């Protein structure tokens, strides 16, 4: 979109010149008012491909530069338009127009405003993103104020938890607007609040539109709401928001300001009876009386004691401050004779040409033109070379040769995958993770549907994961591993093509309501995952450490066969060594406790993650369980507590009712606890766990209370538990191990956290109700 100011007679000339000298197609020409028009354009892709840069017409660039130089002489004679306009349909970390503060990060193609990382807690987080250029809000000399409008798409996702906080906001503020120095979520990343004081308008002026998900009784209305804040967390106007935070659905908001009426208008989406609706809010406010001439603007979010994920996926903004800078002639008083000023040099004789000005003007114009053409040539050449350099440095040439010789995954072109996904449309998006989005696509050559993972552009970690995944999974062949069909790295895109798993992930079935899982399906999934991990640890030429085993990485086909995927964090190690010192990686709740101190990925840390998934399958609960008061409780602590008191039946997913095999359930829970043992030396190998799951070996003996990491037994070999050996299929036989049990044991991670025993003293069915 191009904005011009000129005489009406020149507007058509500008349009024709742009169309002739460039690869821009003119689709719309809109006259806003005399002397101001909008020219809407789009690029012709077949002409703008980087592969065709050398074929472009250099003389067109020269002509365009000359035309624009000539046009600039006339364009700003009467009205100076200081406008700011942009549209960001996706985000990447290399875009210098966006400034990140606090915990805000780019996980391409979206922005995460608060912590959403696999290795960090997500509460007590504050983040902010601002546009790099300041907005010229009003002009002191003329008194004129800008009109502006913005549209953005965002998601607030509590991951199905009813306890979530605190919210998200769009703001305008002075350029030195400070980021809060504390972790109080109630300030939404706008203010550092002390005590119960809700504002400090004198030192920190701002105007914001808040999407508040936690009601602070000191100043907020009850419930989730949208409010307009003027230098205070006490909203000057608010309305109840019919949000979709539990489901994590996308919302849209449109905010506009009219400089004539001084009305700040907010329109936003909500959900009622699972149907999207439009809500609105407005308030009269004179921004020129509150804020400086130039302001910064963007988004902020915060979490406090509870957490939620704040994601920004789209942002459009435009403003149109017009300042009249035409020279105004002094008024001529009537009945006075105008006397010309005295001449400092003689008048040139008629017919005598003064060529000095012409020569100087032509020389300066030529130099400016030459400089412009040089800059254009340099920029085009750099774009042409950039993609080739990027592709050549991402992988070793031997890697592509290796793929080309093999019979496994093949290389696809970017255009093939773009066609397969309808140009990566939102309608084809299956999901989104920390390092990219996954799309459904149809490849005509294969005659089948596939899943295409689009790795976040510009992310160094994303490139490493892409390279790791292609190197490792392309060599592996097992019925319980997601098959890599192909790959692509061109046009600054990193893409992986997998077989499409029609039933989605285990996570969506357990926690997102995709569909109930029968007990037969659950146990089949557990056996499939055990088989996959046995192959990775012992069945290939090298040991493969997955490092991110979790329910969302376990995919299901139409027969509910489990297939382990996402090898972006996987590493190869020798079978003898079996460990790798590396940066902390994985997902909170699934990471073995020793990883935080040793920094090592081992077979035992993979076994711990496997055990947590076993408990998820049996209990229908996430590894970390939020509670209304106090810190969240770990699932392994709660289940071990019930195991020690002989109440393991209370740990079973209530959605199953009585429709499960008690022996298999008992086996799954015991293996889950065994694999999630705090002491890594007392965990089984995946072969041992697999034997027990298939009832080829006796159950291990486990302590009645969850041990601390220093706990040891005389022999790690599994033996038959007397309590288990005498069990039958009756409900009383399902109560495992009932010796005396002490309800107080040490928690090695947080001495202030309530023990699992104290948690279990409350109604277990309440804690174990599926989210």
* Mean pLDDT value of segment 587-598: 84
Annotated binding site: 453
Beta strand 562-564 pairing with 263-272: unpaired
- Diameter of the chain measured on Cα atoms: 125
Confidence at 769, pLDDT banded by 50, 70, 90: very low
The last residue of one of the domains, among 469, 500, 531, is 500
* Distance between CA atoms of residues 99 and 413, nearest Å: 33
CB 470 within 8 A of CB 496: yes
- Check whether residue 94 and residue 65 sit in a common domain: no
Q: Is residue 376 part of a domain?
A: no
Asked if 548 is an active-site residue, the reply is yes
Token pair of 457 as six digits: 């552009």
How do residues 51-101 score in pLDDT, each as one tens digit? 444 444 444 544 555 555 554 444 444 455 567 889 998 898 888 899 998
* Mean pLDDT value of segment 335-364: 50
Least confident of 30-34, 237-241, 252-256: 30-34
- List the beta bridge partners of residue 598: none
Confidence at 466, pLDDT banded by 50, 70, 90: confident
Q: Is residue 336 part of a domain?
A: no
198-213 b/e (C-beta count within 10 Å ≥ 16 → b)? bbeeeebbbbbbbbbb
Give 474's contacts (C-beta < 8 A, 6+ positions apart).
Answer: 403, 406, 408, 409, 484, 487
Q: Tell me the residue range of the domain where 487 lies.
A: 407-500
pLDDT over 50 at 332, yes or no: no
Token pair of 612 as six digits: 């947590």
* Distance between CA atoms of residues 751 and 656, nearest Å: 35
* Most confident region among 125-139, 502-516, 580-594, 602-616 by mean pLDDT: 602-616
Give 139's contacts (C-beta < 8 A, 6+ positions apart).
Answer: 82, 145, 293, 321, 323
CB 586 within 8 A of CB 609: yes
* Distance between CA atoms of residues 105 and 311, nearest Å: 10
Annotated binding site for ATP: 453
* Mean pLDDT value of segment 196-200: 49
CB 276 within 8 A of CB 269: yes
How do residues 596-625 score in pLDDT, each as one tens digit? 777 788 899 999 999 999 999 999 999 998
Residue 482 or 308, more confident: 482
Say what the pLDDT of residue 385 is: 56
* Mean pLDDT value of segment 310-320: 91
Residue 394 or 277, more confident: 277
Beta strand 125-131 pairing with 436-443: unpaired
Q: Is residue 365 part of a domain?
A: no
Percentage of the chain surpassing pLDDT 90? 29
Q: Is residue 398 part of a domain?
A: no
CA dihedral 199, 203, 208, 211 (to 10 degrees): -40
Q: Is residue 340 part of a domain?
A: no
Residue 727 or 475, more confident: 475
- Check whether residue 317 and residue 456 sit in a common domain: no
* Mean pLDDT value of segment 566-579: 66
Q: Is residue 357 part of a domain?
A: no
Q: Cα 50 to chain center, whole Å?
A: 28
Confidence at 736, pLDDT banded by 50, 70, 90: very low
Q: Cα 280 to chain center, whole Å?
A: 27
- The DSSP result for 627-646, as a single string, is -SSSS-EEHHHHHHHHHHTT
- Check whether residue 426 and residue 538 sit in a common domain: no
- Check whether residue 697 and residue 725 sit in a common domain: yes
- Check whether residue 36 and residue 106 sit in a common domain: no
| Per-chain mean pLDDT for the chain | 73
pLDDT over 50 at 771, yes or no: no
- Check whether residue 481 and residue 513 sit in a common domain: no
- Check whether residue 495 and residue 518 sit in a common domain: no
DSSP 293: S
- Check whether residue 531 and residue 473 sit in a common domain: no
Q: How many structural domains are present in the chain?
A: 4
Q: Is residue 5 part of a domain?
A: yes
Q: Is residue 738 part of a domain?
A: yes
Q: Nearest 5 degrees, angle CA 509-CA 513-CA 515?
A: 60
Q: How many contiguous H segments (helices) and E segments (strands) does the chain have?
A: 17, 35
With H, G, I as helix, E, B as strand and everything else as coil, classify residue 412: coil
- Check whether residue 455 and residue 563 sit in a common domain: no
What CATH number is associated with residue 100?
Answer: 2.60.120.200
* Distance between CA atoms of residues 128 and 557, nearest Å: 40
* Distance between CA atoms of residues 156 and 168, nearest Å: 8
548, 606, 641, 653: which one is catalytic? 548
* Most confident region among 58-67, 136-145, 153-162, 519-528 by mean pLDDT: 519-528
- Check whether residue 569 and residue 711 sit in a common domain: yes
How do residues 442-465 score in pLDDT, each as one tens digit? 988 888 899 998 887 655 556 667
- Check whether residue 426 and residue 459 sit in a common domain: yes
What CATH number is associated with residue 660?
Answer: 1.10.510.10
pLDDT over 60 at 496, yes or no: yes
How do residues 702-714 score in pLDDT, each as one tens digit? 999 998 765 343 3
- Check whether residue 758 and residue 626 sit in a common domain: yes
Least confident of 66-70, 121-125, 479-483, 647-651: 66-70
The last residue of one of the domains, among 500, 524, 544, is 500
The last residue of one of the domains, among 440, 471, 500, is 500
């Amino acid at each position: 979109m191009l904005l011009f100011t000129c005489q009406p007679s020149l507007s058509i000339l500008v349009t024709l010149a742009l169309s002739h000298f460039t690869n821009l197609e003119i689709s719309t020409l809109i006259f806003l008012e005399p002397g101001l028009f909008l020219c809407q354009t789009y690029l012709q892709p077949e002409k703008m491909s980087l592969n065709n840069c050398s074929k472009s017409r250099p003389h067109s660039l020269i002509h365009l530069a000359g035309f624009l130089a000539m046009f600039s002489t006339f364009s700003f004679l009467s009205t100076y338009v200081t406008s700011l306009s942009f549209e960001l349909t996706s985000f990447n970390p290399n875009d210098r127009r966006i400034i990140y503060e606090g915990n805000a990060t780019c996980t391409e193609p979206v922005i995460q405003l608060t912590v959403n990382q696999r290795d960090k807690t997500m509460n007590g987080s504050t983040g902010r993103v601002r546009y790099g250029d300041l907005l010229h809000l009003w002009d002191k000399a003329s008194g004129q104020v800008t009109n502006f409008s913005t549209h953005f798409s965002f998601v607030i996702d509590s991951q199905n938890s009813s306890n979530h906080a605190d919210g998200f906001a769009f703001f305008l503020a002075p350029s030195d607007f400070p980021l809060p120095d504390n972790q109080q979520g109630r300030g939404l990343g706008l203010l550092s609040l002390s005590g119960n004081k809700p504002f400090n308008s004198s030192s920190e002026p701002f105007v914001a539109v808040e999407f508040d998900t936690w009601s602070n009784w000191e100043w907020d209305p009850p419930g989730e709401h949208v409010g307009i804040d003027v230098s205070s967390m006490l909203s000057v106007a608010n309305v109840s928001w019919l949000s979709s935070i539990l489901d994590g659905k996308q919302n849209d908001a449109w905010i506009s300001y009219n400089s004539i009426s001084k009305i700040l208008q907010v329109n936003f989406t909500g959900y009622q009876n699972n149907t999207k609706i439009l809500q609105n809010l407005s308030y009269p406010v004179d921004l020129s009386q509150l804020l400086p001439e130039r302001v910064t603007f963007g988004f902020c979010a915060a979490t406090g004691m509870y957490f939620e994920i704040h994601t920004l996926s789209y942002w459009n903004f435009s403003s149109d401050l017009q300042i009249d800078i035409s020279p105004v002639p002094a008024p001529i008083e009537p009945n006075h004779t105008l006397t010309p000023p005295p001449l400092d040099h003689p008048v040139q004789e008629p017919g005598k040409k003064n060529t000095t000005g012409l020569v100087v003007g032509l020389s300066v114009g030529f130099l400016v033109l030459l400089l412009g053409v040089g800059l254009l040539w340099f920029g085009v050449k750099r774009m042409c070379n950039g993609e080739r350099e990027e592709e050549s440095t991402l992988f070793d040439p031997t890697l592509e040769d290796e793929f080309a010789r093999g019979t496994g995954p093949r290389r696809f072109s970017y255009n093939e995958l773009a066609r397969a996904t309808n140009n990566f449309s939102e309608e084809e998006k299956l999901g989104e993770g920390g390092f990219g989005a996954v799309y459904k696509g149809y490849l005509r050559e294969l005659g089948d549907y596939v899943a295409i993972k689009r790795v976040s552009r510009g992310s160094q970690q994303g490139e490493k994961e892409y390279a790791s995944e292609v190197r490792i999974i392309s060599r592996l062949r097992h019925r319980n591993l997601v098959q890599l069909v192909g790959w692509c790295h061109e046009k600054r895109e990193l893409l992986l093509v997998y077989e499409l798993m029609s039933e989605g992930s285990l996570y969506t079935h357990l926690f997102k309501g995709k569909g109930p899982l029968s007990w037969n399906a659950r146990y089949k999934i557990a056996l499939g995952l055990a088989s996959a991990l046995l192959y990775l640890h012992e069945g290939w030429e090298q040991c493969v450490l997955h490092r991110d085993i979790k329910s969302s990485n376990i995919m299901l086909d139409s027969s509910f066969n489990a297939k382990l995927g996402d090898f972006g964090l996987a590493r190869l190690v020798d079978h003898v060594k079996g460990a790798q010192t590396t940066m902390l990686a994985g997902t909170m709740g699934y990471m073995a406790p020793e990883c935080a101190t040793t920094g090592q990925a081992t077979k035992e840390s993979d076994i711990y993650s496997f055990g947590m998934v076993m408990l998820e399958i049996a209990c229908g609960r996430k590894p970390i369980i939020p509670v209304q008061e106090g810190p969240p409780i770990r699932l392994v602590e709660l289940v071990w507590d019930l195991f020690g008191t002989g109440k393991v039946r209370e740990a079973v997913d209530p959605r199953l009712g009585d429709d499960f095999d008690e022996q298999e359930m008992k086996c799954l829970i015991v293996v889950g606890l065994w694999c999630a043992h705090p002491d890594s030396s007392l965990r089984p190998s995946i072969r041992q766990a697999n034997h027990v799951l298939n009832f080829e070996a006796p159950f291990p003996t486990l302590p009645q209370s969850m041990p601390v990491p220093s706990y040891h037994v005389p022999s790690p070999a599994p033996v038959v538990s007397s309590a288990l050996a005498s069990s039958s299929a009756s409900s009383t036989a399902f109560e495992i191990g009932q010796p005396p049990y002490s309800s107080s044991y040490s928690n090695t991670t947080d001495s202030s956290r309530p023990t699992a025993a104290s948690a279990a003293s409350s109604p277990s069915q309440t804690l174990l109700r599926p989210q």
